[in-house]
Chain A
Amino acid sequence: MGPQDVLALLFGSSLMVIVADKLGRRLGAAKACGYVTVAALAIALLMSLSAAPGRYKPLPAMGIPVAELRVDEASRIFSVLFASLGLLVAIYSLKYMEGEEGLGAYYLLLLLMVTGMMGVALSNDLFTLYCFWELMSVTAYALVAFRWWHWEPIEAGLKYLVMSTLGALVALYAISMIYGVAGTTNFDELRSLFTTLDDREAIRLLAGLLLFGFGVTAAIAPFHTWLPDAHPAAPSSISAMLSGVVIKAGVYAIARSLLYILPPTSGIGYLLMYVGLLTCTVGNLAALRQLDIKRFLAYSSVANIGYIMVGIGAGYRAHLLGLTHFALAGVAGATLHVINHALGKGLLFLCAGSAIHVIRSRAIPDLEGCGRSMRITGISSAIGLLNLAGIPPLAGFWSKLLIAYGLVGMLWDPLTTAALAIFVANAILAAGYYIYLLMRLYRHKTTGASEVSPLMWGPELVLAAACIILTLLLSQVLVHVYMGASALMGVMG
């Protein structure tokens, strides 16, 4: 079974969602489209777990030389992450979105968004990647503006659309120039062509355009401003998807195009590293002053994208200097942090969604004490917060340590030493405010909140368990993450 089967299944079941919606409404089963979505995502998850590594050409008979797909260790990690978070969010939505207008459209868009993300992770061709990228983005804009009868989602959705579309177009402009230089957009052909190209200025320009193009969706500073608006405006389940995986698709596109396709060039490593540091500093400082829980979590997502970019930058620079050991550590740390943050932030947004669902307020002072009255949500969010804070036994600590270790190999360079210092300071600051939020959630205060339905706390508990399992099986996870990093960079580990 190849990746084309996964994508065909997802496209096919999006048609089934429409049918199920029409039939279900006639038969009085409004949730039928939700069950179809859950089933499709569960099968897609199993299929993407079992896809064999290799290159796949799903359209050879039609004589179309593009649309090549690939499965390697990195794209498998990302696609499994996308499918599993999509599945949990779909289960959560069964209860969370109950009784809302336009459920059929909601599940259709959710399924297509996951399809787009899977396509981004599985494509082996820049233009195919762009097509799936737009599928993911367009559905994400529509989902942010899903509750269109309020002003907030419309304004946030428009802001997201304008910024992210411009970013995607900048990336497409870079892709068109790559096509002009190389005459192809296939990853492997580009990789071998570009190693013989001596024009470093052109590569630097292309890398910069791709970084900023994909970086808008990945929410790197200074293009992160759509994210803290879009997350509170969207339904909480969609915030979990956006923060958990959509911005990770941006990270994947950046890592794949800069680390795999373009050869390492001096300067870009510093750019990645310092853009990452700017992103995490901005995110952490802005998170400090938020009173809205979803804006707080959104800014902390910006900060976490910063850590991931620092890891990729460290890997890029170490690779350029020939320090393969440290390069792999940096990129592997970034990949592990992608997994950690997807699980942890997805979990926290689902928990925040449950609490908001019960308390009907997004203000942190109103949510104080709900960790005590909503036991399962409280414990799950505590695990998520501790994981993201990087408290030592949990996996969130080891991913930050690996990223820092990737920087350690270049400590003779004062700019890298400064980067390491800023990185560590940010990690400590973030740990501080996560613990502070946890203490507020467990403050003694009667809220009158009661636990939500099992369909809502179930996915939370699964994600919390996943954070712990990730920690317990860290040695096996690290093997896969290192394999993913070497696949992403195209080097042998």
Chain B
Amino acid sequence: MSLLNAYSVAAAALVAVGAYCVASKRNLIKIIIGIEIVTTAVNLNFIAMGLRDGVLDPLASMYAAISMAIGAAVAALALGLVLQAYRHYGTLDSSKMSRLRW
């Protein structure tokens, strides 16, 4: 059982990229792109973990498919909120939206 294959390494790298994107970007759309990258990375990791001797466990592809649907729901809600935020503030810069602090 080799859990450390090319796919799982790529997934770990994508998680890092997505987390960096969420942490460092100020544009709300870019933050959501970061979340989507992490979602994709986790889906890829399910596939990587389901690979046993070159054969894919159907459970893994089912997990990835369901997780994609959930990710789409979250993305839709997030974009809706970003749209409303843009209407309120006239900007997508998250650092301008800091009225809520302490």
Contacts and interface: CB of A to CB of B under 8 A. Distances in A.
Interface of A: 64-66, 127, 130-131, 134, 138, 141-142, 145, 148, 151-152, 154-159, 161-162, 165-166, 169, 172-173, 176-177, 179-181, 183, 229, 233, 286
B97 A138 contact: no
B46 A176 contact: yes
Given A155-B85, A176-B49, 12 more contacts: A65-B59, A134-B74, A145-B81, A151-B99, A154-B84, A157-B81, A158-B85, A161-B77, A162-B32, A166-B38, A169-B42, A179-B60
Nearest to A184: B59
B74 A165 contact: yes
Given A131-B70, A141-B77, A166-B19, A176 B100 contact: no
A126 to B, nearest CB: 10
Interface string B3-16: 10000100000010
Contacts of A142: 77
Interface of B is mostly: helix
Find the residue from B15, B32, B100 having the highest chain A CB count within 10 A: B100
A180 B39 contact: no
A173 B100 contact: no
Contacts of A162: 22, 31-32, 35, 78
Contact of A180 (B8, B62, B82, B100): B8
B55 interface: no
Interface in B6-44: 8, 15, 19, 22, 28, 31-32, 35, 38-39, 41-42
Contacts of A156: 100
25 contacts: A127-B63, A127-B66, A141-B77, A151-B89, A152-B99, A152-B100, A154-B81, A155-B97, A156-B100, A158-B97, A161-B77, A165-B74, A165-B78, A166-B19, A169-B35, A169-B38, A172-B67, A176-B45, A176-B49, A176-B63, A177-B49, A179-B46, A180-B8, A229-B100, A286-B102
Contacts of B38: 166, 169, 173
A78 B39 CA distance: 29
Interface string B56-87: 01011011001100100110011001101100
B3 A180 contact: yes
Given A134-B73, A154-B81, A166-B19, A183 B99 contact: no
Interface residues of B, number: 41
Contact of B77 (A66, A127, A138, A166): A138
A138 B42 contact: no
B100 to A, nearest CB: 4
> 9 smallest A-B Cβ distances: which pairs?
A180-B49, A151-B88, A176-B45, A229-B100, A134-B70, A176-B46, A169-B38, A154-B84, A180-B3
A140 to B, nearest CB: 11
A447 B50 CA distance: 64
Interface of A is mostly: helix
B100 A169 contact: no
Contacts of B46: 176, 179
Find the residue from B42, B81, B102 having the highest chain A CB count within 10 A: B81
A286 B49 CA distance: 43
Contact of B100 (A64, A65, A159, A181): A159
A203 to B, nearest CB: 14
Contacts of A66: 59, 62
A158 B15 CA distance: 21
Contacts of B3: 177, 180-181
A173 B42 contact: yes
Given A154-B85, A155-B85, A177 B22 contact: no
B84 A148 contact: yes
A331 B84 CA distance: 43
B16 to A, nearest CB: 11
A161 B74 contact: yes
B63 A155 contact: no
Contacts of A233: 100
B28 A158 contact: yes
Contacts of A157: 81
B81 A169 contact: no
Nearest to A152: B100
A288 to B, nearest CB: 12
Nearest to A142: B77
Contacts of A145: 81, 84
A131 B66 contact: yes
